[in-house]
Amino acid sequence: MRLPLLKTTTAVVFLDDDERFLDTLSLLIPERFPVSLFTHPAELDARLSRLDEDLAEEQRLLGAVVDGGSRGALRCALDYLAWTGSDRIPGVLVSDHAMPAESGVSVCARHCHAFVLRRVLLTGVADAALAIRAVNEGAIDAFLSKNTPCLVEHLVGMLHEQSLRALEIRGRRLAEGLSACSEQLLSRPEIAAALTGRLSTMGLVAHVVVGDPLGVLGVSAEGQWIWVQIETVQSLRDLADCLHEMGVAPGTVQGVRECRALPNVELAAVFDGLPPRLSPLQALAATEPEVFAAVFDLSADGMALTVPAPLTLAVAGE
């Protein structure tokens, strides 16, 4: 288990010529999966017409986070999270196979999009061999029979799995900004679990992992911007030495050296005008090397940005 380097809205697009089936799905799919429903391949094609363009822009923005440059990685991460285009990028395409206009396998094969769009085929009883062949040929990523008992439950599980895979692929560029030590820390199961739990508790709907300084920049559905800075015992000692040389108050320096509190000096170096703040350090892992996290509410410092509204349910032709 590793903390996902990228989390954002992962919408799902459904294609099926049976409107009643789509209506049923619209009622039963959990709200955490914004869905768009289509009854004809041409309608789906129109929805996905900007996908390659949006994917290219997303990789440019994530590349800026890695490169940092004069703006700094944190500012570039904020640029990405404020970008509305990420909501247009669906994570999963679910298509029926037996349709009069075009087969589901053909539709899925046309929309490979560098395998970022995960393709799930809904099949009939007689289509199992065809679906297996389509997986082996790379036309689809998974398939599910419409006759499966508890179909929606199995489908939701598949949507979750494939959405995570889509985000993993989209966020690969961010790994280039991590040092080998940072990569190793984030790959430790106890740290990944602790960070995932805390980000969820704070209600963050999107986040980006930043390599320098190491941490997670996230935003909640209400527009609250949160920075979680990750430190080791050694990095805190090095910071304490720097703060001492800068003439920072001894009490602050001692708190950093003893892994009790972290000042927002690295944030202040990137964002002008931030008031000085101290955040308590919380242990993420007690085993060597010990790892700590400090949470900073950037919205409390006046960094309120507009968060795009989540995608809503849309049925083509309505």
* Residues 159-206 pLDDT 10s: 999 999 999 999 999 999 999 999 999 999 999 999 999 999 999 999
Total residue count of the chain as it appears in this document: 318
CA dist., res. 129 & res. 134, Å (int): 9
Q: Where are the domains of the chain?
A: 6-173+309-315, 174-301
CATH number belonging to the domain at 6-173+309-315, selected among 2.60.40.10, 2.60.40.2470, 3.30.70.660, 3.40.50.2300: 3.40.50.2300
Rounded Cα distance between 33 and 25, Å, is: 11
Q: Which segments of 202-302 are extended strands (E)?
A: 204-211, 214-220, 225-232, 261-263, 278-285, 291-297
pLDDT of residue 308: 40
Q: What is the pLDDT of residue 125?
A: 73
Residue pair 116/139 in contact by the 8 Å Cβ criterion: no
Helix, strand, or coil here: 30? Answer: coil
Burial readout 277-286 (b: 16 or more C-beta within 10 A, e: otherwise): bbbebeebbe
Distance from C-alpha of 154 to C-alpha of 256, rounded to nearest angstrom: 48
How do the residues of the chain divide into helix, strand and coil, expressed in percent and rounded to 5? 45, 20, 30
Average pLDDT over residues 228-235: 96
Answer whether 157's CB lies under 8 Å from 148's CB: no
Nearest-5° angle of CA 153, CA 159, CA 160?
95
Q: pLDDT tens-digit profile of 136-150?
A: 999 999 999 999 999
Predicted structure pTM score: 0.89
pLDDT for 305-318, tens place per residue? 444 433 333 334 33
CA distances 151 to 76, 124, 130, 202, 299, Å, are 41, 12, 20, 32, 42
